[in-house]
Amino acid sequence: MSRRRTLGTKKRIALLAGAAAVAGSGAFALAATSRAAQPEAPHTLSAGDSTACQGLATALGDNQGFIDGQRAHPDAQSAARIANREAVIEEIKRKQAASGCPVGESAQDPPAGPQAQNGGQTPGGGAQTGGERSAPPAQNGGTGSGTGSGSASGQQVCAGSTVTLSGEGGAPAASSDRFPAGTTLKVTNLDNAKSTTVKVTSVSGSCVLLNDAAFEQVREPGKFLIRHARIEKVG
């Protein structure tokens, strides 16, 4: 007579519980592996997250505002200026992407004074050919020291203005809505005492924008905006 082994009730319950535990641990391991395999979404900075994004957004907004002004009050050179600024905007967008900033985000500082939209003309229609509009009086004697490429001191202008880059290439230079081409300006970054002295070569929508080469001479690493600047007219 064959003998059958019969498992007791307690043994059957213990075996079932063990199998369920093993299956549960396997499911947990699969879920954990699945979560680990999913890459985290990259974090995109906003203009409020960093000085780099703020500066680039301000530069893009300034160039867009300049284009809008040229379209609203065109002259014989407006088409060329607009084409140049559109190329500059594309370069700024590339910088935004490289810095992890929202591409195309723009902002514009309040203008320090009336803006000349017609290639250096005053709102009254007179072209700036030999002089500039009245500037704020010099503060602290209009003198200052810096460690950049320029050492001259002159009349302080555009008090309270921040300074960012225009996005233009070439040798160190500046653009301005207040001063005509040929004007010499000294820009000092008061946060690191670096300064640069450059000539105005083009028109923009701000008191002064430095091109890429000039901005590199005075910037702080990783920043595209100078919050504490001294701007002086020296020639």
* Structural domain contains residue 119: yes
Report whether pLDDT(189) > 90. yes
Query: According to the model, what pLDDT value does residue 125 have?
Result: 31
Of residues 91 and 5, which shows the higher confidence score? 91
* Structural domain contains residue 15: no
The confidence band for 81, taking pLDDT boundaries of 50, 70 and 90, is confident
CA pair distance 219, 21, nearest whole angstrom:
61
Query: According to the model, what pLDDT value does residue 166 have?
Result: 86
* Structural domain contains residue 29: no
Among 147, 158, 129, smallest CA distance to 232 is for 158
Among 76, 69, 58, 7, smallest CA distance to 223 is for 58
- Segments forming the whole domain that contains residue 184: 51-233
* Structural domain contains residue 40: no
Among 71, 74, 82, 180, smallest CA distance to 122 is for 180
Per the structure, the count of domains in the chain is 1
Burial profile 192-230: b = 16 or more Cβ within 10 angstroms, e = fewer: bebbbbbbbbbbbbbbbbbbbbbbebbbeeebbbbeebb
Of residues 179 and 108, which shows the higher confidence score? 179
Query: According to the model, what pLDDT value does residue 176 have?
Result: 93
The per-residue pLDDT for range 16-32, each reduced to its tens digit, is 555 555 455 554 444 44
* Structural domain contains residue 162: yes
Q: What is the CATH number of the domain that holds 69?
A: 2.40.40.10
Query: According to the model, what pLDDT value does residue 15 have?
Result: 54
Query: According to the model, what pLDDT value does residue 206 have?
Result: 86
The per-residue pLDDT for range 134-160, each reduced to its tens digit, is 333 333 333 333 344 444 568 999 998
Report whether pLDDT(36) > 80. no
The per-residue pLDDT for range 62-77, each reduced to its tens digit, is 889 889 989 999 999 8
Of residues 35 and 165, which shows the higher confidence score? 165
The total of other beta-carbon atoms located within 10 Å of residue 116's CB is 24
* Structural domain contains residue 112: yes
